[in-house]
Structure 1
Amino acid sequence: MKVFLLVYLLIFFGLAMILPSYRVWKTTGVNPYKLGKSESAHDYVGTLFRLTIFSVALVVIAFAFLPNLYEYLVPISYLSNVTLNTVGQTLLTIAVIWVLVAQVHMQKSWRIGIDEDVKTELVQTGLFKISRNPIFLGMRVMLLGLFLVLPSAATLVILFVGDLLIQIQVRLEEEFLTRTHGKAYLAYQKQVRRWI
C-alpha cells in the first residue's frame, strides 16, 4: 500500500497536473497556472486548495515513512478493512484514468485556475459531453478513494475541505465561462450536468 500510494501521487500530480501544464505552455506559450496570491476569492480558494493538496502528500508520506507521526493523524481503525481498502484503491485508479482522459480532451484549454487573459475554447467533447467538470469530478473521487484507503481524521478533513473548495472553484469558473462564452456556455449548461 505504501508503494501504491507513493507511485499514485507521482502519477496523479505528475501526469495529470504537471505534464499537461508543460504541454500547454510548450504548444501555446501560455502559462496555464493561473492561481495567484491576490486577495480575490479565486486566488484565496487556490491557496487553500494548494494547502489541501500539500496535506494529501504529507499524509501519504507520513503513512509511508513516519508511522509514529501517522498515528497523530488519528487513524479510524474500524474503517480499516480489506473491502473498503479495495474500494478505495479502485476509486483512486478510476480517478487517475478519468482525469488523464479528460486532460487529453481538454488539450490547449487546460488551465489551473481562471485565465482572464487568454480566451480558451469551450470544450464540449469527450468526457465533457458527460460532465462539465470531469477533472474536478476525478479529484473528488480521488479524495474519497484516499479516505477509504487511509481512513483517518486527517483524510476525512481533507475530503470535506477539498470537496468544499472544488465546489466553490467550479462555481467561480461557471461565472467566468458564462461571461466569456455567453449563450454557448448557457446552452452547454442545459445539456450537460455539472458532475455526471
Structure 2
Amino acid sequence: MQGYIAVTTISLLIILVIIRSIQLKKFGINVFKFGHMDKKDFIIPPFALLLLYLITSNAFNLPRLGTELFTNGIVGWIGVALCSAGLLLFLYSLISFGKSFRVGIDEESPGTLITTGAFSISRNPIYTAFGMVLCGEFLIYPNWILLIYLISAFWLFNRQVRLEEQSLVKIYGEEYVQYCQNVRRYI
C-alpha cells in the first residue's frame, strides 16, 4: 500500500506541473524556462527518471537498485504522511502562484511577485514540498540510493533557490528584499 502511495505521489507531482503548464500556455505564458540561464540544469531530468524508476520498481517488484537500510512499517507510514503533506503544499503553491508559475528562472517575463497564500509561509513552498515528498519517499523505501538522492536534492534545491533569489532581487528590487525579511526561505 505504501509503495503505491509513493508512486502516486510522484506521478501526481508530474501531472500537476504538466496540467498547470498547459493551462498557462493558453494565456501565452511559457512555463518552462528550465536550463535557459544554467545549462547544467539538463543533468537533472535523467536523475529524475532514475528516481521515478527507483520508486516504481519497489512498488511493482521490478528489478531493484540498491539495498534497504532498514525496514519499519511505522516509519513507512510517516513517509506516507510526509508525501501527502508535500503533495498538498505543492498543490497549494501552484494555486497561490497563479500565472507567475515557472520552471526555471524567467527574467524576461516573470509575472508578478507572489507573497500571499503558500508564499506567506515560505518563500519557496514548491521546493519545500518537493523536499517533504523526497523525505517521505525515502522513509517508505529507505534505500541507500534514495538517501543519496535526498541529500543531493537538498543541495540542488538550495543551489537553485540561491540562483533564483539573485534573479528576483534584480527583477523586483526592494519589494523582494522586504519580502525576504518577513518570510523564511523554507519552513
Q: Give the TM-score normalised by the residue count of structure 1.
A: 0.89
Q: Name the aligned partner's letter for residue 101 of structure 2.
A: W
Q: Is the 8 A contact 1:49 1:165 kept in 2?
A: no
Matched, 1:155 2:154: no
- Which stretch shifts more, 57-66 or 138-147? 57-66
Q: Give runs of aligned pairs for residues 57-76 of structure 1, distance below 5 A.
A: 57-67=52-62, 69-70=63-64, 72-76=65-69
- Counterpart in the other structure of 2:6: 5
* Structure 1 counterpart of 2:50: 55
What residue is the counterpart of 2:20 in the other structure?
Answer: 20
CA–CA distance in 1 between the matches of 2:7 and 2:144?
Answer: 20
Q: Distance in 1 between matches of 2:44 and 2:183?
A: 25
Give the deviation of 1:66 after TM superposition.
Answer: 4.2
RMSD over aligned CA atoms reads 1.5
Q: Does 1:123 align with 2:114?
A: yes
Question: Any gaps of 5 or more consecutive residues in structure 2?
Answer: none
* SS of the residue 2:103 aligns to: coil
Counting matched residue pairs gives 186
CA-to-aligned-CA distance 1:53-98 (integer Å, 9 cap, x gap): 222201012213344x21x31221x2x2112101100000000011
> TM-score normalised to the size of structure 2?
0.93
Question: What are the residue-to-residue correspondences of 1:97-176 with 2, within 5 Å?
Answer: 97-176=88-167
Structure (1/2) with the larger helix percentage: 1
Runs of 4+ displaced beyond 4 Å = none
Q: CA deviation at 1:20?
A: 1.2
